[in-house]
Structure 1
Amino acid sequence: MPDPEPRRRTSGLVVESREHVRLLTLDRPERRNALSTALQEDLVEEFLDAGESPDVRAVVLTGTGPAFSAGLDLKEIRELDARGERFRSPMHRTTRSFLEVVTECPKPTIAALNGATVAGGFELALACDIRLAAPGIPMGLPEAKIGMGANFGSVLLPKLVPRGLALELLFTGDPMTSDEAVRHGLVNRVVPAPELLDAALDLARRIAANAPVSVRRMKETVVKTADMPLWQALRLEVGPDPYTSEDRAEGIAARLEQRAPRWKGR
């Protein structure tokens, strides 16, 4: 069956299904893909749906125009301030944080960073498992320059790079380029802009070709044992058990019979 037509949500999020890969595109180029409240809510819904759908085995997130995302929609926030409405800090809102939902997605997530990736846009990229980026794009957390807090980035960034570097980026608010970021492991690799989305989709397809039970087990194990002692982490047994799954028997049979496996996800 051909893939269904793309769906465009009113927030500016475009949703596509390409075989076992879900492609989500931030499509507000006139606002540098700023993360409005509506767009955040749609990201929550679509990542939850991708995580629950048995047909989705990987998610690719990208943007259109000159930016991946410039972060929260500052014009929207200013309008709320002008109306005298209360601005709540990230962990005191009535809805789930979109960044937490992306981080907790049980399927592998890949960010294809097509342009400037700053503030909440950088935090959104950090929430994904794997990051590919176009050359020379600015990446960073300028929140200290405008009185915001970078709550998610302040927690996650020091887990991904040396503490001193994380603090320098947070305290100064200065950006680095994607070419610098790849040297620190924040970006898996830099890909020429015209080839970026194809590279991300190809990577997602290669992941999706593997046993879903195995991939999910690996992701949950990596995420949930990150701060645990080795002896405790080895005994945690999180996620589905690939060793006793139907897919394990199918994978071995397919390898010995020299054919493509037919995964059932169980």
Structure 2
Amino acid sequence: MSPIHTETRGHVLEVRLDRPPANAIDLATSRQMGEVFAGFRDDPNLRVALVTGTGEKFFCPGWDLKAAAAGDAVDGDYGVGGFGGLQELPGLNKPVIAAINGICCGGGLELALSADIILAADHATFALPEIRSGTVADAASIKLPKRIPYHVAMEMLLTGRWFDAEEAKHWGLVNHIHPAASLMDEARKMADLIAAGPPLVYAALKEIVREAEAERFHDMLARVTKSQLPTVATLYASEDQKEGARAFAEKRDPVWKGK
């Protein structure tokens, strides 16, 4: 049985981890996830990805320690997108939503941090327990202090303590909390709302945000205003850009074609 299930609904790709008992990720699963997300990136009909886990107990605990004990190298070939298929996937200029349906820790939390929007079930719990096994949560050490207050991020990294969905939302790590029974319905509503928007604008937004991490404000702003980013140049020369202006002037909803 495949550890990854996918379903396409209109312009939305749903990706579900299904690897009992805990949805942990081994090398083969990571490589398959990379192929799935690369396919999402390259399919012009797909605009938003929604990633979740099977069941109500685990979203993903990250690296499969049993597979590691059996010989899966921690530094092995994770695939085109790096661990979990998302965090190192080049050119991913489409929105990704994570629906956290249960325990989300270690590399599973790093996978969630690779999404653009995070929704959580009210019983979801989170942790970065790598410190307890004498290793480092590498991707989280880079990302987490940029997403939440530095001292809070460092406490989580240094102690490996668990925290619940309410605390995650308090610190801005989670966008919204929903009852478990309605999590996927709410996630799909969010995905459909975004999928109905202008895909070329989303592409430009994601490239701008990604590139801006290593740039000073004025330098980055100049790159955007001078259309020096490929997605921005495409947007400003597009039919969608003209359609947006026409729709506003005509007081109607725009029809986005991604062209």
**What is the TM-score when the length of structure 2 is the normalising length?**
0.89
Question: Structure 1 residue runs of 4+, over 6 Å off?
Answer: none
**1:72 partnered with 2:63:** yes
SS at match of 2:70: helix
The residue aligned with 2:244 is 251
Deviations 1:25-67 (A, max 9, x none): 1112x32111122211111001111111100111100111111
- Tell me: CA distance 1:211–1:99, structure 2 relative to 1, closer, same or farther (3 Å): closer
24, 27, 37: which is aligned to 2:27? 37
Alpha-carbon shift at residue 104 of structure 1 (Å) = 5.1
8 Å CA contact 1:32, 1:67 repeated in 2: yes
Deviations 1:93-123 (A, max 9, x none): 5744134335852110000001010011111
8 Å CA contact 2:37, 2:86 repeated in 1: no
8 Å CA contact 2:32, 2:79 repeated in 1: no
Gaps of 5+ in 1: 1-9
Gaps of 5+ in 2: none
CA distance in 2, matches of 1:248, 1:264: 10
Deviations 1:184-235 (A, max 9, x none): 0100111111111111111111111111111111111122113422211111
52, 63, 72: which is aligned to 2:53? 63
CA distance in 1, matches of 2:90, 2:164: 23
The residue aligned with 2:145 is 158
Q: State the percentage of identical aligned residues.
A: 37
SS at match of 2:136: coil
CA distance in 2, matches of 1:53, 1:236: 27
8 Å CA contact 1:11, 1:42 repeated in 2: no
- Tell me: CA distance 1:248–1:59, structure 2 relative to 1, closer, same or farther (3 Å): same
The residue aligned with 1:5 is none
The residue aligned with 1:3 is none
CA distance in 1, matches of 2:171, 2:89: 22
Q: How many residues align?
A: 249
Matching residue's letter, 2:87: E
8 Å CA contact 2:87, 2:111 repeated in 1: no
Matching residue's letter, 2:101: N
8 Å CA contact 2:28, 2:78 repeated in 1: no
Alpha-carbon shift at residue 12 of structure 1 (Å) = 1.2
8 Å CA contact 2:30, 2:78 repeated in 1: no
Two-structure CA RMSD over aligned residues (Å): 1.9
**1:101 partnered with 2:88:** yes
Paired residues for 1:184-203 under 5 Å? 184-203=171-190
**What is the TM-score when the length of structure 1 is the normalising length?**
0.87
The residue aligned with 2:43 is 53
SS at match of 2:87: helix
